[in-house]
Amino acid sequence: MNRRAFIALAGAAAAWPRAARAQKPGEKLRRVGILMPYPQTEQEMQARVRAFKEELQRLGWIEGSKIEFDERWTSDNMELVRSNAASLVERNPDAIVALGGRVIPILKQTTRSVPLVVMTVDLIGTGMVASLAHPGENITGFSLFELSMIGKYLELLKQIAPNVSRVALIYNPDNPSTAFFQREFERGAPALAVEPVIAHIHGLADVERVIDDMARSPNGALMFAPDVTVTGLRERVVALVAKSRLPAIYSDPAIVKSGGLASYSADRIDLFRRSAGYVDRILRGEKPGDLPVQQPTKYEFLVNLRTAKSLGLDLPDRLLALANEVIE
């Protein structure tokens, strides 16, 4: 056998397992909805959805032959989210994947039957599930947060800027998960000799007002709770924070990649991959309400060294050694 014929035969053999998994005649093409409260141009969010699809493919769900995706990309406009949620549900998908503390209540109100695999901060406190072990009804998912992370935010801020004595927690109160954040923030701040400041925002003008207020007194810093408003406006938020020269820590690595100083968060790519495992189990017949809500297992600490230098911060080597990624 000549070399070219051998390569062709080997290639055909390698492709055989995938062909064997192709859709059989009469087999239903499964549909999975994806609801993302971000514009479709968001490359960081596209990478997360791509990780989800790649993991499903690894599990045997080949797009176009065994599964199709119905993606809806919106923004933090909850009316747009509401209309897209309704449109998705009308198509009767086999499952819907979504994230966001303001998005998930809308989705759950829209359907009590379509299986939902969600990612958010506090499914218990917001009443979305009956328990973590047995969420019940048509919903399960993954937590973006766990209690110890609040203290970690404050510890990292103090290591980044040791003189910090006053920290503003910035969040959108429309997000039901933020009550969890505020409670733990106010409880943990005194142990680190930090005065907690609660700052509500609904848009960029509110963010600017809070930053200006904090910049008027010395030793201030900022902490941003996870919310689509801040993440979606991240480039303008980062510019406002840079102008104020205040140290800030964020809850999404996408903001640090856009010029923010530091972030500490659950590994979002890992959570999207793991959510594919739950969708796989649902497509194979398991009920979402029987699948326990899972906590994060991987965390990311990102530091933007360029931003630190622009603020005159000399970050200790021990802190940089902790970082999963240092942007220079």
CATH number for the domain including 229? 3.40.50.2300
pLDDT in tens, 68-108: 999 999 988 999 999 999 999 999 999 999 998 899 999 99
In terms of domains, do 37 and 92 share one?
A: yes
Q: Are 242 and 259 in contact (CB under 8 A)?
A: yes
Amino acid at 31: R
Question: How high is the pLDDT of residue 11?
Answer: 40
Tell me the C-alpha distance between 101 and 119, whole Å. 8
pLDDT in tens, 249-298: 999 999 999 999 999 999 999 999 999 999 999 999 999 999 999 999 99
Distances (CA, A) of 44 to 3, 38, 212, 254: 43, 10, 29, 6
Q: What phi, psi does 42 have (nearest 5°)? A: -70, 105
Rounded average pLDDT over 104-117: 96
Range of the domain at 208: 148-266+300-327
Q: What is the pTM of this model?
A: 0.86
Tell me the C-alpha distance between 209 and 198, whole Å. 13
In terms of domains, do 98 and 245 share one?
A: no
In terms of domains, do 32 and 45 share one?
A: yes
pLDDT in tens, 147-160: 778 889 999 999 99
Number of domains, the chain: 2
Tell me the C-alpha distance between 138 and 113, whole Å. 6
Max CA-CA distance within the chain?
A: 80
Q: Is the pLDDT of residue 1 over 80?
A: no
